[in-house]
Chains A and B, each alone.
Chain A
């Protein structure tokens, strides 16, 4: 599913809204998440997951072909951690709707 298909599905469920408004809703949601990450904030959406920014410190890397050392600058990468409910639904038997079997997946905590 791509963004335009997401918009189409939502528009179908909400016939009282203009397609243009549905588009703005979807765009706003992703813009808000992007803005938060740019500020270094976390975005926590229970049941769905959490977006955060991780810092990768500067390091000395190597060109794998030549073996030359290269300095790699510090950088920040967006990170997503799946929420508990969604993780359980992904592994519910049948892979269909409504997860009822949490399946007791052992969690490697971090």
Chain B
């Protein structure tokens, strides 16, 4: 969409400002938050964060796909994919802010 990209650096900075640990430790903790979530998901455990959303791993069967550019058939092996379902709260917050005034500028995907 219109804007900027937020990365680990901004998340760490926010934790640094909010909690008052060192910058280094703030960065490490952001990393720990993400890696705990990853580990749970890899073990097949879903992760639910209230008023944010839930992550879960879903098993997909194999199928024949197609390279959209060449039309060539490509087998797609059975695999696990990660699904994020945003909570109602998050959906409402995003809509409230974006479908109002900022619509003109941010209308491009």
Contact = CB atoms under 8 A, between A and B. Distances in A.
The answer to whether A binds B is yes
Interface of A: 1-3, 6, 9-10, 13-14, 17, 21-22, 24-26, 28-34, 36-49, 51-55, 73-80, 82, 86-87, 89-92, 95-97, 99, 103, 105-106, 108-109
Interface string B40-79: 1111111111101101010000000100100000111101
Contacts of A22: 29
Interface residues of B, number: 67
A37 B94 contact: yes
A74 B103 CA distance: 10
Given A25-B29, A26-B33, A41-B4, A95 B44 contact: yes
Contact of B29 (A14, A39, A51, A99): A14
B68 A108 contact: yes
Nearest to A3: B49
Interface of B is mostly: mixed
A9 B36 contact: yes
A48 B6 contact: no
A10 B79 CA distance: 29
Contacts of B94: 37-38, 53, 76-78
B27 to A, nearest CB: 11
A34 B81 contact: no
Contact of A53 (B1, B14, B48, B80): B1
Interface string B1-23: 11111111011001100110100
B98 A38 contact: yes
A34 B90 contact: yes
A28 B14 contact: yes
A80 B106 CA distance: 18
B11 A29 contact: yes
B81 A90 contact: yes
A97 B42 CA distance: 7
8 contacts: A10-B29, A25-B26, A25-B30, A31-B14, A48-B34, A75-B95, A78-B90, A108-B65
